[in-house]
Every structure is written in C-alpha cells, then in structure tokens.
Structure 1
Amino acid sequence: MEALDQIFNLLSEERRRYTLYFLEQQDDPAPVDEVAEQVAEWKTDGPPASIPEEKFEQIEVKLLHNDLPKASEAKYINYDSEERMVELTEAPPTFKAIISVAEIIERPDRNP
C-alpha cells in the first residue's frame, strides 16, 4: 500500500513528525521559520527564548534542505521553497488519523 508506506516514511524522522503535528494545527500556510521555532521548542522541551540560536538554525537548515523537500514529495504537503511557506493539503482521513494517533503517543507539547 503505497500511501501507507509514504505516511510511515514521513513519520520516520522526528522533525518531520513535529512539522506535521504543527501544520495539522494551522488553518493557513505557515512560514518555515515558525515551523522551525515550534519544532525546536518541542525538541528542546523549552520556551523559544531558551533555545540557543545555533540549535534553532540547525533545525531550520535541516527542515529547509532535508525534511520539507522530502515531505513535499507526499501529495499531502505543499512546500514553496521560494516563499518559504508550508501547509498540509486536503489529506484523506487515514492520513489525519495516523498523524493524530502519532501525536497523542508522542505528546511533543508535554511539559518537562
């Protein structure tokens, strides 16, 4: 089942999972820097002010050059590299259900 393989491939990297969780909460396309900020916050379990600039930049570069281009290969993600905007498209209920279950299990927004 190609669609299922594609979903699990997206979920295989923590930054991509966190990106999907964040995008699922958005009504509009999100700027990459906002996505990177949220991913960095969840990865470090701290508020944005406590995230070292170097860590934020590292996450943003990996999103820009690895994770978002790979995610955009899936038909459920639109990534405009020129505008640096990303969004989920109308995804089938199966995709949304799997993302929701993964987020519930992982709980990236938990307090340390």
Structure 2
Amino acid sequence: MVTLDEVFELLKDQRRRYVLYCLYEKDGPVAVSELVEKIETWEDDPPGTDEDIDRFEKIALDLKHVHLPKSAEVEFIQYDKEQGVIQAQGSPEEFDAVLTIAMIIEEPEEADET
C-alpha cells in the first residue's frame, strides 16, 4: 500500500506530476518520447524556438534520470529503461483520487487530448 508521504513525494515535482497525468490517462505502456512531447506542450516555454531539440533532450534526460525512476519506486508504476516505456497498473483508489484532484487544480493544457 502506498503511503500518503509517498503520494505527496510523487506529486511534489511538476514534471513528475505531468508524467503521472499521462499515465493516468493512458491504458498500458507509454513511450518516454511521448511523455517528453506531452510535457513539452504543457510547460510554459513557448514552442517553435531553435532550442526545441535541446529542450526536448533536457526534458528526456530529466525524466530518464530523475522522474521516471522516482515514480517507479511505488509498486504500481513500472519503468522499463531498456524498452523506454513506463506504465501504471493497479494504482490504489486513494492515489487515483489525489491525482485526479491535482489534475483538476493544475489543469495542464491539452490534458483531455491524450
């Protein structure tokens, strides 16, 4: 069972919350590249600059080395580094409730289009 401290630790960082929002909305594994693209649209920086590739790579590195491994510390999130996919499976109802509330409060742009 996930503790309240673990839930809040997962939700503490905006990028990690964005990962969790994507996982919550998808059924099955999600490619890291798909997460990066979605997070890139949700973050405040305006798209279409020459630095988009650098930004994509920075987000990808941040996810791969920090947020995906941290998310996978709970038993209902599985991160396969080799395949480059992550998924949530069997999350507790309490976690789903808190995550839903966070999504409502934060309202990431285009969240309903995933």
* TM-score (norm: length of structure 2): 0.87
| 1:20 maps to 2:54 | no
Change (3 A) 1:41 1:12: same
Matching residue of 1:34: 34
Matching residue of 1:109: 109
Matching residue of 1:54: 54
Deviation at 1:54, TM superposition (A): 1.0
State how far apart, in whole Å, the 2-side matches of 1:16 and 1:105 are: 15
Q: CA RMSD in A?
A: 1.8
* TM-score (norm: length of structure 1): 0.89
% identical equivalent positions? 39
State the one-letter code of the partner of 2:39.
V
Matching residue of 2:8: 8
Q: What is the SS of the residue equivalent to 1:87?
A: strand
Task: List gaps (5 residues or longer) in structure 1.
Answer: none
State how far apart, in whole Å, the 1-side matches of 2:68 and 2:97 are: 21
Deviation at 1:76, TM superposition (A): 2.1
Task: List gaps (5 residues or longer) in structure 2.
Answer: none
Deviation at 1:3, TM superposition (A): 1.1
Change (3 A) 1:46 1:104: farther
Deviation at 1:46, TM superposition (A): 5.4
Q: Number of matched residues?
A: 108
